[in-house]
Amino acid sequence: MRVGSCSVGTDLLSEGPRLNERHDCWLSLTQDAFVHLPHLRDRLTPAEQSPMRITREGLATRDERARAAGYPADWRQSDQQIDRSWRSFLSSRVEAGDLWVFGYGSLMWDPGFRYTEIRLAEIEGYQRRFTFKIEVITGSPERPGLVMSLEQQPGRCRGLAFRIAADLVEAESEILWRREMILFSYSPRMVSVATPQGSINALVFTSDRSQPNYIGELPLKETAATIAQGVGIRGANRTYVEKLAIELKELELEDPYIEQLLEQINNTASSQA
C-alpha cells in the first residue's frame, strides 16, 4: 500500500522495511504531499521505485560495476567521507524538526527520498550552470561530459521544494546524501527559499569550487559541444539536459540558460550529422 510517496509494504530497492519504519512512514505521509501541485502526482518517481534511492548495498553494487568498467578506485567519495559529511550536517542543524530540500535538477522528477509536501520554489542569487567535468557515469576519459550545479551569481533559480517529516529526516537524508555527495561536486548549505505558501529554509546542494573537477562556466557554445559529445556507461551526457528541459516546461518554469543550451546542443548535433 502506498500513501503519497511512501510505501508501507516492501521497499523493492532497499534492504526491506522494518516495522517501526513502516509505522513512522504511515504517520508522516497520511497527508497529501501533492496538495499544492496535484498535476505532478503521477510524474514524479515514487521513492520505492526510484533507482536513485541508494542504500549502502546499492552503492557497493555500483562500485562493482565501476570496477568492471575500469574506473579508478577513487572514482567517488568514500563511504567514510560521505558519512562524515552527512553526520556533520545533521549535528549542525540549528532547527530540529522537518527538513526542506530544494531540487533544481533530477530531484525534480526523481527525488529518491520520502517527502510529505512539495511546493514550487525559488532562490535568489543562484543559477543553474554546467561547471564540473565528468569522466564517469555519463562521461568518460575519451568523451568527458559536464555536471550541472548551482552557482552563486546574480539571478534566480526556480525549482521544487520537498519537505521531509521530522521523524524521517535522519533516514531519508542519509539516502539523499549517498546520491548527491557521491561525486566531488557539491557543497550542501541551508538557504532561504521563497514558495507561494511562504518562505522556508531549505537544504541546497551548491557548487564546491574547491574540487579539482570544477572548471567554472564555459562559453555556451563550448558547454554545448562538450555535453553533445559526452558519453559514459550510463549513456549520453545530453540526455540529462533534454530531461531537465522537459520538466521545466511541465512546471512552467523558465530558465533561458537551459533553453539556449539545449538549442545549441541540437545545433551541434545537427552540424555533426
Query: Distance (Å, rounded) from C-alpha 106 to C-alpha 247?
Result: 9
The rounded distance, in Å, linking the Cα atoms of 268 and 230 is: 12
The x, y and z cell numbers of residue 192, run together, are: 532561504
Count CA within 13 A, CB hemisphere, residue 195. Answer: 25
Enter the C-alpha cell of residue 72.
579508478
Which of 21, 174, 180, 247 is flagged as catalytic?
A: 180
The residue type found at 81 is: Q
- Grid cell listed for 130: 554546467
Bridge partners, residue 152, by sequence: 126
Strands 2-3 and 6-7: antiparallel
d(CA 67, CA 62): 9
Q: Is 135 a catalytic residue?
A: no
| Rounded-to-integer distance, Cα 52 and Cα 178, Å | 9
Torsions phi, psi of 266, nearest 5? -65, -40
Active site residues: 180
